[in-house]
Amino acid sequence: MRKPAATPRIGKASAVQAAGQCVCGAVRFEIDVPAVWAWHDHSAASRRAHGSAYVTYVGSWRSRFRLLEGEGSISRFEDAEAGTTRSFCSRCGTPLFYERRRAPKMVNIPRPLFSGRTGREPRYHLALGEAPDWAYLGEPLAPLKGYPGVMWERPRRKKSRETGGLV
Establish if 5 lies at the interface with Zn ion (CB under 5 A).
no
Establish if 55 lies at the interface with Zn ion (CB under 5 A).
no
Q: In angstroms, what is the minimal distance from the CB of 22 to Zn ion? A: 3
- Cα(145)–Cα(154) distance, integer angstroms: 12
In the list 16, 44, 82, 92, the residue contacting Zn ion (rule: CB under 5 A) is 92
Closest CA to 23 of 79, 85, 80, 73: 73
- Cα(125)–Cα(114) distance, integer angstroms: 20
- Cα(135)–Cα(20) distance, integer angstroms: 26
- Please give the residues from 95 up to 154 whose contact with Zn ion meets the rule CB under 5 A: none
Closest CA to 132 of 54, 22, 73: 54
Count the site residues for Zn ion by CB under 5 A: 6
Establish if 75 lies at the interface with Zn ion (CB under 5 A).
no
Q: Which stretch binds Zn ion (CB under 5 A): 19-27, 38-46, 137-145, 155-163?
A: 19-27
